[in-house]
Structure 1
Amino acid sequence: MIPTIPQSRAFKTIYAGYVTLFFIYLAAPLVVVSVFAFNDSLFPSLPWNGFTLDWFIGDGQGETYKGLFHEDGILESIGVSLFVALMVTILCVFVGTCNAFLFERENFPFKNALYVLMLLPLVVPGIILGISILVFSNTVANGVEDLLGWDLEFLRPGLLLVVLGQFSFITTIATLVISARLRKFDRTLEEAAMNLGASKWRAVRTITLPYLRPAMIGAGLIAFLMSFENFNTTLMLVGSDSPLTITMFDRLREGSTPVLNAVSLFLMLVSCGLALINIMLQREKHD
């Protein structure tokens, strides 16, 4: 709706109703999950049996339920997810920054073709991407074992493949975020620094990279969140150490309990916090 064009009261009412229903549709599942994280019941459903914090802090002794912070399996899976997300974030920001300089500053044969190839993982379904990486790595590992007798365990399902699988598509998003910032940079600032005696690398390090810092941090936050919540690709590549999404999926198949609602609420709060940090960085970038 264009604000400058006069609209009838009926149209405004319908439009406001549509917007309200849309946001209710988005928020209702999250609200339901959050509410039942405090339900004093073994089942995350009606009826409401009273308020409790046991699904967060309960130790399972006496009449209390075993809560999130006493579930060793879930806490270990959170640690695995944090490790994977951190590794993916570091790789994506580093490679994304290098890619940004490559595609924004350099001219070379087949540049456009390589750029399209970089974007390709975004349109490939995550489960297909995971299967492709798994088949490729297993083929290489089996071939080396048949020829040389070496068992390349790191090419089998495990955390390394999970990191590489997530990195293969998240790095594209990091590249796009950082490239958008680099495209607006005034290169005469680098030229002025080099005219004053700075080397090209020193000019980039002291002028260009600080300019890119908000975009790099924003790309890192996006990469961290995408890695932490990734399921499809991770499912195909995971080994014995399961990230949180896989652990929650396994628990859900056994039977849902409000502790999963507690985990979901905890993750929503963390995600909202990181999203707010990203918004503040974006404002700083535009100021």
Structure 2
Amino acid sequence: MLNRNRNWGFLLGYRLYVLAFFVFLAAPLVAAGTFAFNDSQFPSLPWQGFTLDWFFNDTEPKLGMFHDRRLLRGLYYSFVIAGCVSLLAVAVGTCNAFLFVRREFPGKNFLYIVMIVPLVIPGVILGISILLLASSVANWFDDSLGIDLGFLRPGLFLVVMGQFSFIATIASLVITARLKKFDAAMEEAALNLGASRLRVLATITLPFLRPAMIAAGIVSFLVSFENFNTTLFLVGSESPLTITMFDRMAKAGSTPVLNAVSFCLIIGSGLLALLSIVIQRDRTTG
């Protein structure tokens, strides 16, 4: 009887802990989403009524996010950066997966650790390091050879390279995990039947990896889109959405239009995450 009471108490405590944990995670998101529809110029209680002005209104003082040119410009740059980073990360991640799964070479374990290291380096340190390196190289070329390497100055190129430096690791790990499950006998059978290695790669191996590549692309896109620490030190005049929102909050404080942007980002991120899960589940089931 005593053991039953202990088990019941432990189960109750565990359930309460899980509930509190998810409430802690969800409460800020719910608050941000709720105040995006509050008919007030300040994102705080009391509730003034339901409104969509913070999304669609085209006049001040309630200028909606879809009419705010600066926010839309930041959103555009975020899509451009995230798209470039995700494409590069999937391409390099696929190559890394083949390299570390299919090949044996001296220093393989050391290089694998080097690939993982960017994940444990704080984004601030990563951003500062890349900025110092790029600026030093650009200054040397400018002072010594009179060549202006503008792409090494703060701007879109540096932002893409800075984010790619650690996001490529995430894509590599996702695709590597999938490749390790691949049965190499399928490739051997196709080769024995006369197929070329390129055809085997295109018709057997890459289709098997496609769910992981799509998932890696989605994850890379999301991580790039929301990145702030590394981007802050590498950004130029083309500010992505995270930097634009930070500047807006620093100058004007929190406003409901930022809650509206946050609500759209929450919905968009959730849908992309669900899409990634569905794609992998369908492929696994099939």
TM-score per shorter chain, which class? Answer: over 0.9
Partners of 1:173 and 1:11 in 2: CA distance: 36
| Distance across 2 between alignment mates of 1:227 and 1:25 | 25
1:108 equivalent in alignment to 2:108: no
Deviation (angstroms), 1:49: 1.0
Give the whole-Å Cα distance in 2 for the aligned partners of 1:34 and 1:42: 15
* 1:82-93 matched pairs, under 5 angstroms: 82-93=79-90
**Stretch deviating more after TM superposition (276-285 or 5-14):** 5-14
Alignment of 1:232-247 (within 5 A): 232-247=229-244
Displacement after TM superposition at 1:6 (Å): 8.7
Partner SS for 1:46 = coil
SS of 1:201's partner is helix
In structure 2, C-alpha distance between the alignment counterparts of 1:208 and 1:14, rounded to whole Å: 47
SS of equivalent residue, structure 1 residue 60: coil
* Of 266, 270, 273, the match for 1:272: 270
Name the counterpart of 1:256: 254
Asked if 1:130 corresponds to 2:127, the answer is yes
In the alignment, the residues of structure 2 paired with residue 9 and residue 93 of structure 1 have an alpha-carbon distance, to the nearest angstrom, of 47
* SS of equivalent residue, structure 1 residue 240: coil
Partner of 1:175: 172
Partner of 1:18: 17
Q: Which residue pairs with 1:77 in the alignment? A: 74
SS in 2 for 1:173: helix
Distance 2:133 2:13 in 1: 53
| Unpaired runs of at least 5, structure 1 | none
2:33 aligns with: 34
- Structure 1 residue 10 displacement after superposition: 3.0
Are 1:205 and 2:202 matched, yes or no?
yes
Q: Match of 1:268, as an amino acid?
A: I
Structure 1, residues 180-211: CA drift from partner, whole Å, max 9, x if none?
A: 10011111111111111111121111100000
1:12-55: CA deviations, max 9, x gaps? 33222222111111111111111100111111111211111000
Match for 2:222 among 225, 236, 246? 225
| Matching residue of 2:155 | 158
Deviations 1:49-93 (A, max 9, x none): 1111000011116xx721010000000100000000000010000
Give the whole-Å Cα distance in 1 for the aligned partners of 2:105 and 2:207.
27
| Structure 2, gaps ≥5 residues long | none
Partners of 2:5 and 2:82 in 1: how far apart?
Answer: 49
Q: Which runs of 4+ in 1 moved over 4 A?
A: none
The aligned residue for residue 52 of structure 1 is 51
Residue 281 of structure 2 aligns to which amino acid in structure 1?
R
**Letter aligned with residue 93 of structure 2:** G
How many aligned positions are there? 281
CA distance in 1, matches of 2:262, 2:142: 42
AA aligned opposite 2:280: Q
Taking the aligned partners of 1:218 and 1:279, their CA distance within structure 2 comes to 8
TM-score (normalised: structure 2)? 0.96
1:128 offset after TM fit, Å?
0.4
Amino acid aligned to 2:245: M
The one-letter code sitting in structure 2 at the alignment partner of 1:142 is N
Amino acid paired to 2:260? A
Q: Corresponding residue for 2:283?
A: 285
- Distance in 1 between residues matched to 2:143 and 2:275, nearest whole Å: 50
TM-score (ref. length: structure 1): 0.95
Partner amino acid, structure 2, of 1:185: F
Classify the secondary structure of the residue corresponding to 2:39: coil
Residue 145 (structure 2) aligned to one of 125, 148, 164: 148
Provide the aligned C-alpha RMSD in A.
1.3
Deviation at 1:175, TM superposition (A): 0.4
